[in-house]
Every structure is written in structure tokens, then in C-alpha cells.
């Protein structure tokens, strides 16, 4: 699992602002921008740090100390039930294992978190913070409506943060299949034979047969998720293939129009999900040389071969992001703006995998009752 590319296009159409569209992976190099983390500031608790070694422009090794943080923290409820007949309460709190790093790309900071929970859930979050990219305007100058006045004479321009992650899946083995899963109301109207009370709904699953067909996008109206399954491994309870599911969280549509250079170079942002056959050369969603690209590199070119992706060694690419309409509260340094996605086991286990997590108690968590009087 890796961040493959990101683009930050700005929405002001007037020159020179039409050129603002940073590719923070393919242009700046996200890893090169990693912070050296500080104990007790960037993450709390029992910390294990990892250094990161890169090459400089002369090909010589250079090290960023404490670039990656590994730690655990309390993550709230894991599961709970109160038996209403007896009043007996069963409650278990969750511990999360978090791998994180923070990068500074000119004005913005991106804090990146891979969080692993005891029920098998994997959550990915990016928290954008730092400083807005602003421009000034003269007294009396009329504003065109492409930004927010965040201070006297200063505008924070409308923009987007679009991220692409590369998920090289291996669900119970190398050969996987990806499907869209949509929840839809039954076609029959209220009073009909098939839906007499009007409340019926069912799940529709559609397998993505080839890489070109895999280009799919979020569908809030049908609560769409994507399922990655292994046909050769059958869950003994459901009698269906074992699987995990991708749950989208933030999926802003790319605002740049067809024909624009931004949209051509950031083709990966046109859809929420793409699926390709695994290829060691296919690492970056916008291609290797994004600064020289005239468009069409990366995912748009890879899916043109229409490779079979049923029961294959596949890579799932997920694009998500936020459309940032700045607030006065974002200036001069903005609070975090969060986006991401979740992966969950979906009929992969035979029961709740967190049943063996010890129940919570005040002896363990050291909670104290505060007397406010």
C-alpha cells in the first residue's frame, strides 16, 4: 500500500494562476519532503522511530532521521453489548497500531497515517495542515469570486487535493477479483407482489472483467463499495469467496475540464477506482515523468490494453480527495483537513476476529472519577 501520486489544482482561471497544479509525488517527491519527527510532539506514547535513506541529486545517500513513527494508542470502543434482560455489560476497547509520517511540501504539511485495528480494519488518513497558498489584491480591486478573503488584502484561492493510492492486493493469495457492490431498492412499488410493503432492497454485485471496464466512481445513492475477493478460497460460513472491501470516504470530482492540461496529466483523478494487472513498472498513477507529460501517461495508458483482471494478480488504484474552499479560520495556519478511506475484512473470517481481545477495566486503563464539587 502506497501513495502513488497527488495533484493540487487551483480553480482561478486567470493567468498566471492557471499554472498552479502541483504534483506533490511526481514533481516534488513526497518522501524527500519528510520531516524529522520530534518525540512527544508529532506522536505520543511508546514510540519507535525509523530513519529513511534517500539519494540526493548527485546519487549519494542522504538520511532523514526519525522519518517514520510507529506507536499504539487507545482507539475508543472495539465492541460493546448490554444484555437488556439482565443488565450485564460486555465492553472491549480498541488499541490501534499506527504508522505515520509528516511531509512539508512548500506551504502545506501532510500528516499521513496508516492505522491497523484489532478487528482487521485498516484505515488510511491524510491530514492537510500548514499555510494556505495566498495572493494579494490592491485596495479597490474587484474580486472575481475564485477565493476567500482570509485577511485584509489577502485571498486564499479555491483548490483541490487529489490523492491516488496503490493497493497491491493479495487476499488469501495472488489471484484476486474486484467487484462493485451496490445497494438498491427493489424495483416493485409499494403494494406490488415483489415489494408489498415498499421497504425492500437488495445487493447487486458486478465483477470488473477487464482493466478498461474497471474505471468506476463513487455512488452515494447506492452506498457503493468495492470488494476484492479470492474465488479459490471459500468462507465456510457464507459459502462465498473470502474478501475484503474498500470503503470510500472522500471522493471529490476533479473540477478541471476535458481538454485542460491538468486533467490530461492527472487522468488518474477522473475515476475513484482503477484495476490493473500487477506490473513492476507501474508504480506512479500519472507516470514516471509527470513534469514532461503532455497527458495520457500512467493509468489511462495502462488500462487501454483491456487486460483480463478476473482471478489475476491485480493492483487496485483508489483516488480520493477534498475540494478546499478556504475559511478565515484557515489563516494564517490552518487546522487539519482530513480525508482517506477504509479497508475491512468482508466474510474473510468466520466470526468477529476481536473476540479474544481482553475486556476493558479501570485497573488497566487507569480511569479516574473526577469530583466536580
Phi, psi values for residue 83, rounded to 5°: -75, 110
12, 24, 42, 330: the active-site residue = 24
Q: Which three cell numbers stand for residue 27?
A: 514533481
Counting every residue written for the chain, the total comes to 373
Residue 172 designated active-site: no
Residue 108 designated active-site: yes
pLDDT tens-digit series, residues 275-287: 999 999 999 999 9
Phi, psi values for residue 335, rounded to 5°: -65, 165
pLDDT tens-digit series, residues 292-331: 898 999 999 999 988 999 999 999 999 999 999 999 999 9
pLDDT tens-digit series, residues 63-77: 999 999 999 999 999
Q: Which three cell numbers stand for residue 112?
A: 499521513
Centre a 10 Å sphere on the Cβ of residue 44 and count the other Cβ atoms it contains: 11
10, 12, 42, 108: the active-site residue = 108
Pick the CATH number of 2-186+194-361 from 1.10.1200.10, 3.30.1280.10, 2.40.30.10, 2.70.98.20: 2.70.98.20
Q: What's the whole-model pTM score? A: 0.94
Domain ranges in the chain?
2-186+194-361
pLDDT tens-digit series, residues 216-233: 999 999 999 999 999 999
Tell me the C-alpha to C-alpha distance, in Å, between residue 306 and each of 7, 76, 208, 212, 367: 26, 44, 11, 5, 57
Amino acid at each position: 500500500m502506497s501513495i502513488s501520486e497527488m495533484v493540487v489544482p487551483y480553480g482561478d482561471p486567470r493567468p498566471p494562476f492557471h499554472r498552479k497544479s502541483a504534483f506533490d509525488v511526481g514533481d516534488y517527491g513526497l518522501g524527500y519532503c519528510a520531516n524529522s519527527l520530534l518525540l512527544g510532539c508529532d506522536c505520543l506514547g511508546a514510540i519507535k522511530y525509523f530513519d529513511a535513506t534517500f539519494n540526493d541529486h548527485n546519487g549519494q545517500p542522504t538520511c532523514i532521521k526519525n522519518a517514520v513513527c510507529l506507536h499504539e494508542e487507545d482507539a475508543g470502543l472495539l465492541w460493546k453489548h448490554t444484555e437488556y434482560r439482565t443488565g450485564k455489560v460486555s465492553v472491549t476497547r480498541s488499541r490501534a497500531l499506527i504508522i505515520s509520517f509528516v511531509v512539508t511540501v512548500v506551504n502545506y504539511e501532510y500528516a499521513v497515517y496508516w492505522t491497523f485495528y484489532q478487528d482487521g480494519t485498516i484505515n488510511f488518513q491524510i491530514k492537510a495542515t500548514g499555510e494556505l497558498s495566498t495572493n494579494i489584491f490592491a485596495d479597490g480591486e474587484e474580486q472575481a469570486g475564485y477565493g476567500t478573503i482570509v485577511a485584509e488584502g489577502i485571498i486564499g484561492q479555491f483548490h483541490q487535493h487529489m490523492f491516488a493510492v496503490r493497493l497491491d492486493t493479495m487476499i488469501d493469495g495472488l489471484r484476486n477479483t474486484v467487484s462493485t457492490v451496490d445497494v438498491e431498492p427493489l424495483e416493485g412499488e409499494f403494494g406490488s407482489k415483489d415489494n408489498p410493503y415498499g421497504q425492500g432492497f437488495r445487493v447487486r454485485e458486478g465483477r470488473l472483467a477487464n482493466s478498461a471496464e474497471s474505471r468506476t466512481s463513487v455512488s452515494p445513492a447506492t452506498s457503493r463499495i468495492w470488494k476484492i475477493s479470492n474465488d479459490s478460497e471459500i468462507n465456510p460460513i457464507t459459502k462465498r469467496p473470502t474478501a475484503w472491501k474498500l470503503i470510500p470516504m472522500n471522493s471529490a470530482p476533479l473540477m478541471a475540464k476535458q481538454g485542460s492540461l491538468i486533467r490530461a496529466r492527472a487522468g488518474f483523478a477522473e475515476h475513484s477506482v482503477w484495476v490493473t494487472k500487477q506490473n513492476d513498472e507501474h508504480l506512479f498513477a500519472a507516470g514516471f515523468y509527470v513534469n514532461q507529460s503532455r497527458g495520457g501517461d500512467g493509468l489511462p495508458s495502462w488500462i487501454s490494453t483491456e487486460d483480463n483482471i478476473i482471478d489475476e494478480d491485480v493492483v487496485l488504484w483508489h483516488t480520493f480527495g477534498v475540494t478546499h474552499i478556504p475559511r478565515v479560520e484557515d489563516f494564517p495556519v490552518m487546522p487539519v483537513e482530513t480525508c482517506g478511506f477504509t479497508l475491512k475484512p468482508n466474510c474473510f473470517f468466520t466470526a468477529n476476529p476481536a473476540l479474544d481481545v481482553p475486556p476493558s477495566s479501570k485497573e488497566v486503563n487507569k480511569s479516574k472519577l473526577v469530583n466536580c464539587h
